[in-house]
Amino acid sequence: MVFGDDLLKNAGLLANMVDYIEIILFHTPTLHNIPTSEEICSLKKTGEQEDMAFAVHLPASLEIAASDRTQREKSVQLAREILLRTAELEPMHYILHVPFSPPTLVAIPDFYFTSQNDPRWDEWRGHALESLEVLHGALGKPGKLLVENINYSPRFLEPFLESGFCGLCLDLGHLILGREEVMEHLRHRLDVTREIHLHGVNGYDEHLSLSRLPKDQVHEWLRYIHRNSFQGAITLEVFSPRDLDESLEIMLEAFRDEPHYS
């Protein structure tokens, strides 16, 4: 959603700039953009014409691990419906949040979980695994469903990765918000990561241009990813043309002097 709210317009304009587009879906009382069958057909046509791949980011409002059974079932059902509706796009990945606390679309200061001392984690883990098994079965293709670290450390996602029901989407911006060491997580988790989300952070504002971060630090991350033969996707999760232009330039600067880069 770099060029406004229209999915088709975004795909058409971004096709000249990138080769991979994350379609971010919303499902709230005031924000709803789940595409129609006609829109899916148009997106697929654009992808085929421009040799462009897609990812689908499932709504952040889903609560597949909620303590309330009805809420869990509604979330899983909506997720399954989206999987089926967008299957024609043949997305490389489906990105899913698994909230521990009530989901939010914005970062909440000092609300980042690093400790498992809370007994609710066991219940959350159990509910999430049940739901992930259902979604994994609905997809029928391993490796497409990815869970993303949000307002907690990626280590909380390890039981889900070990289950085989999903892979990892590692959001580096969320690590920064949680004051975690990005390089440490890249060293320990790159081999199980299928997609990386990258965006600038300023205080508790996120999804900004990479220019908001120390350039040398961003280059270090990107060169480490490249030198370790990462085969997944890197998504610049930004929402304005200027932020995208600046972020792409910083990425290109990191790779220009890298051997075997083209």
- For residue 138, pLDDT over 60 is answered with yes
Res. 178 pLDDT band, cuts 50 70 90: very high
- For residue 107, pLDDT over 80 is answered with no
User: pLDDT, tens digit, for every residue of 209-227?
Assistant: 999 999 999 999 999 999 9
What tokens appear for 224 in the block?
Answer: 């480490």
Q: Domains of the chain, with CATH numbers?
A: 7-256 (3.20.20.150)
Res. 261 pLDDT band, cuts 50 70 90: low
User: pLDDT, tens digit, for every residue of 115-129?
Assistant: 877 889 999 999 999
- For residue 262, pLDDT over 70 is answered with no
Res. 110 pLDDT band, cuts 50 70 90: confident
Provide the Cα torsion 90, 11, 46, 20; round to 10°. -50
**pTM as predicted:** 0.95
